A and B are shown apart, each in its own frame.
Chain A
Amino acid sequence: MRKIFTIAGREYRAMVATKAFLLSITMMPVLMLGGLFTTQWLNKAGGIKERKIVVWDGTGELFQQLRTSSIAFNAQIEVAMENSNNDGIIEEQTGGLEQFEKYLLERAPVSEITNEYRSEISEKITKGEVYAYLEIPADIIVEELKLNEATSLQNIKDAIPAAIFRSQDSALSQAKQWLQVTLSKLIKDKRLAASGVDRKLVEKAEIPIQVKGMGLFALDKDGNAKEEDEGNVLAALFMPFGVMMLMFMVIFLAAQPCLESVLEEKSQKISEVLLGCANPFQLMVGKLIGVVGGSLTVFSIYILGIIWFARSQQIEIPIQIIPWFVVFQILGVFFYGALFMAVGASVSQLKEAQSMLLPIWMLMMSPMFVWLIIVRDPNGAMATGMSLFPPATPTSLMLRMATGQAIPIWQPIVGLIMMVACTLFVVHIAGRIFRVGILWQGKTPSIREVFKWSLSSN
């Protein structure tokens, strides 16, 4: 037993007392949170892009109005760029602001559109002289709204021809979105005017009603309403997301060194020396305890940071799930640490490990693929299923618990029991692979061979 702790102690120091470790625990949250803001920041840093768009207007009247709209939009963009606050005006017009863009519209210098002209302008787009080309068909304006006829709205919609937008990135283009929104609005105004309806009246009629999301209602001892704060969409989504990422991070930061230390011992021929002192089981369990200690250190650092940050920002965090978190974190580290170690023992170079790690990665990340489904319905079939699937149990259970919704208490308990059983099984199998693998030299074994090792008892 003492040997196990001697090994654990070294493993812990090897994991925690390195520059790479310090760097990764500081960089991980920065990278993850940073991802949320960098796109916007990068867009701003890139300045405003000018998009030159050539328009062939078959109606003869839309171009001028479109150009007027673009000038107004460009002015708004400039203000938004300066104030870094656009109050959603721009999102409304582009369906989400991805980039700061100005639109410079130019009338196509031909009266009739021909395929020659289309290919000529396409060439200009390829050369980068023009960003995009818009073709507005003459019959796009259907002024007489034949609503009283028996035709359905869908039929009318199908009858109106589409404007054609050509650019190199037409599928994702933000300019296309802007044109769609702006043209629709212009044509809507025309239709209203043709029908003699006041545009202002329609705008007023279209003012939406809000449904406000609030927390639950309770009465305190004196019978006063104790209302919880307005349910914050961001908090409701990002708190569980953050908890899930934290779990993923502590497991990952602990499992990775398992792989590396076994590989180091193998490639530096240390394994044989170690086996002259301790048996493979002691080695493996010692390492696992070491990295569990390391992962708890990471967790303590993060949780203290989070609590401090939450206090200073007056954000409420679900402190009551911390004990569950720690229990599942320890199991998760044992589970994935053992798997990573088995992989480390089966290969002789890090790059050979990649293909074997892929399925393990998939298991580890499986809750991330469905996290939104779980958060939206924390007691749904997907959520329940994922939390009872041991490789995904730690992350998905924490994700659910962090939503603040009550979860039937049997689920974490059954999840815990299954996870313990599964972890014991995985550690046992990985131990067999580890025992054969650490003395294995030469060619990388095939998955079949590794599977055979896992069955061999001697």
Chain B
Amino acid sequence: MQNAIELAGVTKRFGKKTAVDGLDLAVPTGAIYGFIGPNGSGKTTTLRMILRIIQPDSGQVAVLGKLRGRTADDQLGYLPEERGMYKRMKARELLIYFSRLKGRYDAAKNVDQWLEKLGAAEWANMKIETLSKGMAQKIQFISAIVTMPKLVILDEPFSGLDPVNMEVLRDAVLELRENGTTVIFSTHDMDMAQQMCDTIFMVFQGKKVLDGTLSEIQATYPANRVRVILSDTRQEFPSIDGIENLTQTRNSFEFKLENIEEKQRILQQLAARVSLDQFEVIRPTLHEIFVRIARPENARAESLQDS
């Protein structure tokens, strides 16, 4: 199947700063594609190029099979990170207006269905300025998807939501995928990305640093960490050679192996001295990978290279 988005060698500079540097990306149709990266790494610039808000200096941006355009595709829904709605418009009126801007002039029924589905029907005729933050966020979410786009870009869709509303919106996103919509999902919440995304893509300083499924990404990192759960919380963790960076959360301990080959020896030594519930060799989490890549010293090294 055709890819929903294809970027080839895309570069964008703002003055002397290179915001996006030779980026290649292929988002398959129907996937939930996680888009991660620290602030200022070129995420928003990339999204804006996909939306045709800005044009790349070089390289190609193909969206839903189209290579160029000065306006975002009408089949593309967008929820920007910074939420914005006309305060003095009523929720339903605003949603219908945004649908019309997306070229859908018969969206009233869809608007009502979505308002109903997200439990916002009673707010339909209230002005945006009177809505609570969570409610306004739902309205904005509806505005991005109400025209049933083929491709949706959601930038931090769940930030600031309470767990109940987060659940509601997460289900809505999953439902979109079931209906064949491609979802690009940009977030700082690594757990959420890990949970929801089929594929994860990370940019750092304008370059692609990760692209693949979670297990593919994790496979590139050595399995040199161990999680141990002790049966008895009162036990002290014995001191053993060959481990470093020991951390403790209640009766669960994590450490890094100095040498992966020694995991058998360490298990035996531990088992001999304390009673174990669990001993698991783990790969780094997405969070750890993210932090490892985007550490300030890396940023400095990169920028030194740049200059």
Contacts and interface: CB of A to CB of B under 8 A. Distances in A.
Interface of A: 2-3, 6-7, 10, 14, 264-265, 268-279, 281-282, 439, 458
A275 B97 CA distance: 14
Interface of B: 48, 51-55, 70-72, 74, 76-78, 80, 82-88, 97-98, 100-103, 105, 140, 143
B84 A3 contact: no
A273 B71 contact: no
B86 A270 contact: yes
A268 B97 contact: no
A269 B101 contact: no
Contact of B71 (A272, A279, A458): A279
Contacts of B71: 277-279, 282
A282 B52 CA distance: 14
Nearest to A266: B84
21 contacts: A2-B105, A6-B97, A6-B100, A6-B101, A264-B86, A268-B84, A269-B82, A269-B83, A270-B84, A270-B86, A271-B84, A272-B80, A272-B82, A273-B84, A276-B72, A276-B80, A277-B71, A277-B78, A277-B102, A279-B52, A458-B54
A273 B81 CA distance: 10
Contacts of A274: 101
Contacts of B53: 272, 275-276, 439
Nearest to A436: B54
Given A264-B86, A439-B53, A276 B78 contact: yes
A268 B94 CA distance: 14
A7 B101 contact: yes
A211 B71 CA distance: 69
A379 to B, nearest CB: 47
Contacts of B83: 269
Determine the main DSSP class of B at the interface with A.
loop
Contacts of A439: 48, 53
A195 to B, nearest CB: 80
A272 B84 contact: yes
B76 A276 contact: yes
Given A3-B103, A273-B98, A276-B77, 7 more contacts: A264-B86, A276-B76, A276-B78, A276-B80, A277-B102, A279-B52, A279-B71
A14 B74 CA distance: 25
B84 A265 contact: yes
A283 B100 CA distance: 13
A94 to B, nearest CB: 53
B150 to A, nearest CB: 14
Contacts of B76: 276
- Max chain A CB contacts within 10 Å: which of B52, B86, B101? B101
Nearest to A270: B84
A213 to B, nearest CB: 53
A269 B100 CA distance: 19
Given A10-B97, A270-B85, A276-B80, A458 B143 contact: no
A223 B55 CA distance: 75
Contacts of B78: 273, 276-277
